[in-house]
Amino acid sequence: MDFFMAKFSKHVALYQKTSYSEITASLWLSLRLQLLAAFIISFIALMAVIGNFGDFPFKLGTPGLVGLALSYASPIVSLLSSFLTSFTETEKEMVSVERVLQYIDIPQEEQCGSVSPHLDWPSHGQIEFEHVTLRYKPSLPAALNNLSFKINAGMQVGVVGRTGAGKSSMINALFRLTPICNGRILIDNLNVAEVAVRELRQSFAVVPQSPFLFEGSLRDNLDPSGGTSEEKIWEILEKVHIRTLIESAGGLDIQVKESSVTFSIGQCQLICLARALLKSSKVKLVN
């Protein structure tokens, strides 16, 4: 409840900030329009007076014509402001249209795969990269260039490389976060490109390079799908040596924030490690 209230008031504050600036801007516009209109009317009045003396090029002629000119000039304020308001409104609405068009153009991930793997896939955990080439953008050089290797089931493999060598890119390729442009990746002889992304990403446990905690209770963070027993969670926490830390922080039901201030980066990493260990997956990736 508190969480939603806080979120709500944050959004309301943001909305009020923008609408305040909008109102100020439109008041400033209408002030300037009124000044412009006042200038036009005074110009006509001045011309009417001056035009009567001497031979001036703009003669308004009879007092009737002067009255006509003045009566035509007076609604100019409202006309000008309504014209400009509709103009700016159209412009503003067009921004929404533009935004929608922008979202339409975002390429969508393919939701369903052509093969549906077994429930217990991957049952062994053999990973095979065959001539994998990955490019983040067509104009950029390949982050992974013709990479081939095979990791047999049950092996623990560490990939070592300089920073920027492409270690994280291998995980991106495996999870299909970035599509590969050449080659294929097989897990237990099943091409990952043929599996639905949702199932693919559910099948592995990963500890990302930058630890990620989402907003919610610590229990949800450790066991997002639910269903793991309390003892099991504590056992894993014991294994990654953060049991005492969690106990002193207030147990599994404490709320964590996305921009975690409660835990240090290292502690977040351990929580992510515990999350990966709790997932009974044959393939575990630690970045």
The answer to whether 181 and 133 have CB atoms below 8 angstroms apart is: yes
Using CB distances below 5 to 8 A depending on partner kind, what does residue 226 bind out of ligand ATP, Mg ion, none?
none
Nearest to 73 by CA among 83, 61, 85, 65: 65
Those residues with Cβ within 8 angstroms of residue 202's Cβ, 6 or more apart along the chain or in another chain: none
Tokens of 219: 């229990």
Q: Is residue 244 part of the contact set for Mg ion (CB under 5 A)?
A: no
Q: Considering the complex, state which of residue 19 and residue 209 has its C-beta at the smaller distance from Mg ion.
A: 209
Q: Is residue 209 part of the contact set for Mg ion (CB under 5 A)?
A: yes
Strand (E) positions, 104-242?
A: 127-134, 144-151, 182-187, 190-191, 204-207, 216-217
What span, in angstroms and rounded, lies between the C-alpha atoms of 129 and 149? 5
Nearest to 131 by CA among 147, 142, 144, 143: 147
Q: Is residue 174 part of the contact set for ligand ATP (CB under 6 A)?
A: no
Restricted to residues 108-167, the positions that interact with ligand ATP (CB under 6 A) are 136, 140, 143, 161, 163-167
Q: How far is the CB of 210 from Mg ion (least distance, A)?
A: 9
Q: How far is the CB of 140 from ligand ATP (least distance, A)?
A: 6
Q: Is residue 178 part of the contact set for Mg ion (CB under 5 A)?
A: no
Span from 10-18, 206-214, 225-233, 238-246 in contact with Mg ion (CB under 5 A): 206-214
Q: Considering the complex, state which of residue 33 and residue 174 has its C-beta at the smaller distance from ligand ATP.
A: 174
Which stretch of DSSP H or E encloses residue 256? strand 255-256
DSSP string over 83-114: HHHHHHHHHHHHHHHHHHHHHHHSPPPP-S-S
Q: Is residue 211 part of the contact set for ligand ATP (CB under 6 A)?
A: no
Q: Is residue 180 part of the contact set for ligand ATP (CB under 6 A)?
A: no
Contact with Mg ion (CB under 5 A) among 26, 85, 168, 255: 168
**Residue ranges binding Mg ion (CB under 5 A):** 167-168, 209
**Residue ranges binding ligand ATP (CB under 6 A):** 136, 140, 143, 161, 163-169, 209
